Structure 1
């Protein structure tokens, strides 16, 4: 007797396998270095607590990285990076907003719009950096036929 698998089950298994393979390219050490690099000013001025921010940033890094890797197939098939970015701009904005909201919620309250704006800009740059990294790695894997 054979086991019958549904198409959605097969797609989910393939997606999980792809994500596991692409995440092998990501190092926790590099993530932590980039967190410190992007948020160093806020850690030094004690506006943000490093331990709390680090955990959330790691989660958002993985999400942005996988999003970039997933959409890299469009770049492989000829679209420019700007067009691919426009395709997933809603998801990128949602990741940025989510990271910003979490950091503002757990950070020290300053009631300063300039600080809040600079935190938002830093979150945006951080998420975009990891999206580009995922895009680059994903496109590279497509070229090497590792998909």
Structure 2
């Protein structure tokens, strides 16, 4: 019985090491400039309580969400590599993507974005589009890695 535990632990350890190696290889494709440009494209003009355009805290929070969703997309890319259509992959990941979008929306609202009802709806659609964009980026890059067998 003790041997089975070691085998499972060994398997899980190797699996996690492979996952980390794959994530690192996919993340090499990103740069801070790309993330910054994306945040500015999706959230330009959103004002915070301080009156400044998108202060550093909110921007860094967007980077965090973008990276997490990018990695999520890259993890789902294996399904795409093996032939599952993107529509099915997106349907499989819908709940996770919604959670990231809602978390980003709540984060921005918490850190002081001045939002009336109309801007709140706009923020929701911006967050959804931002999350979808980074999911697809990760999905495409991950699928490329699988095709090239560089993971």
* Normalised TM-score (structure 1): 0.89
Where do 1:1-147 residues align within 5 Å? Answer: 6-43=10-47, 46=51, 49-110=54-115, 112-147=116-151
Segment drifting more, 6-15 vs 96-105: 6-15
CA root-mean-square deviation:
2.1
5+ residue gaps in structure 2? 1-6
C-alpha distance in structure 2 between counterparts of 1:38 and 1:53, whole Å = 13
5+ residue gaps in structure 1? none
* Normalised TM-score (structure 2): 0.87
Cα drift, residue 49 of structure 1: 3.1
Change in Cα spacing, 1:123 to 1:47, as seen in structure 2 (3 Å) is farther
C-alpha distance in structure 1 between counterparts of 2:31 and 2:64, whole Å = 13
Change in Cα spacing, 1:44 to 1:37, as seen in structure 2 (3 Å) is farther
Change in Cα spacing, 1:104 to 1:44, as seen in structure 2 (3 Å) is closer
Contact in 2 for aligned 1:47/1:109 (Cα 8 Å):
no
Change in Cα spacing, 1:14 to 1:43, as seen in structure 2 (3 Å) is same
Cα drift, residue 14 of structure 1: 1.3
Cα drift, residue 11 of structure 1: 1.2
Contact in 2 for aligned 1:48/1:103 (Cα 8 Å):
no
Contact in 2 for aligned 1:72/1:139 (Cα 8 Å):
yes
C-alpha distance in structure 2 between counterparts of 1:100 and 1:48, whole Å = 16
Contact in 2 for aligned 1:76/1:139 (Cα 8 Å):
yes
Query: In the TM superposition, what whole-angstrom CA distance separates every residue of 1:12-34 from its partner, at most 9, and x where no partner exists?
Result: 11111111111001111100011
Contact in 1 for aligned 2:74/2:139 (Cα 8 Å):
yes
